[in-house]
Amino acid sequence: MSLVENLKWRYATKKFDASKKIAAETLEEIKTAIQLSASSYGLQLYKIIDVQDPELRKKLQAAAWGQSQIVDASQLFVFTTPTTLTAEHIEEFIQLTADTRGLDPAVLNDYSDFMKGALLKQTEEGAKSWMAKQTYIALGNLLAAAAELKVDACPMEGFDAAQFDEILGLEGWTTSVIATLGYRHEEDGLQHAAKVRKAKSVLFETK
C-alpha cells in the first residue's frame, strides 16, 4: 500500500486488543522513525518514555481520565521535554555534532552562539511552548511510521501532565504529549467510520 493509502487506513484507535503485542523488530522501526524526525536546529529537546510496567500504567490511566488505551495498548509512549531550556542543551548538541561528523567543536562556535542568542532569549513559557511543539513533529513521524507498519496508534492530550510527571518520577522533565500503540479491537466501531477531513479545496489556498 502507498503512504496515502496507509494514512487513509489509520485512525485514532480508542479500543485496543490487549492480547496483541507489537513485535520487537516492528517497535524498533517505529523508534527509528521517531529518532529520524525533523527537529528545529536538530536539537531534539525531548525524551520518550516507553512505559511497560503494568502497575505504572494503571496509575497513569487514573491520570488520563480512565481511558482504556493507557492499559490495553501494547505500548504507551510518553513524550517529555526539559522543564528549562539551558545553554548546556545547546552545548551537548554541538558536541554530538562534532563527534558525529569528526569536527573540532570550535568550528561550530558561531552556530552555537547563534542558537543561544535565538533560543535563550525566550521567556520561560515561550521556551516550554517551543520545546513542546518539537514533540508534535516527532509524534507525526510516529503516526506515519505506525500506519506504514500496520500498527494502530492514538495520539492523546487527555491527561494531567503534573500527575504524569509525579507518577513517572520525572525530575527536570515534564510530559508534553502521549501516544498509545498496538492493534485495534474488533469492537472498536470507529475503524468502520468514514474519515472526516476538510476538502483540499478548503484546506489549501494558492496565492
Whether 1 has a pLDDT exceeding 80, the answer reads: no
177 strand-pairing partners? 79
**Tens digit of pLDDT for each residue in 56-105?**
999 999 999 999 999 999 999 999 999 999 999 999 999 999 999 999 99
The three grid cell numbers given for residue 162, joined into one nine-digit string: 503534573
Beta carbons within 8 Å of 190's beta carbon, 6+ residues apart: 11, 12, 13, 14
Count of other CB atoms within 10 angstroms of residue 103: 12
> What is the phi/psi pair of residue 15, to 5°?
-130, 115
**Tens digit of pLDDT for each residue in 165-194?**
999 999 999 999 999 999 999 999 999 999
Count of other CB atoms within 10 angstroms of residue 117: 9
Residue 80 is predicted with a pLDDT of: 98
Residue 10 is predicted with a pLDDT of: 97
Closest CA to 178 of 161, 157, 205, 151: 157
Count of CA atoms in the C-beta half-sphere (13 A) of 14:
9
What the chain holds in terms of domains, given with CATH numbers, is: 3-85+122-203 (3.40.109.10)
Query: Which pTM was predicted?
Result: 0.95
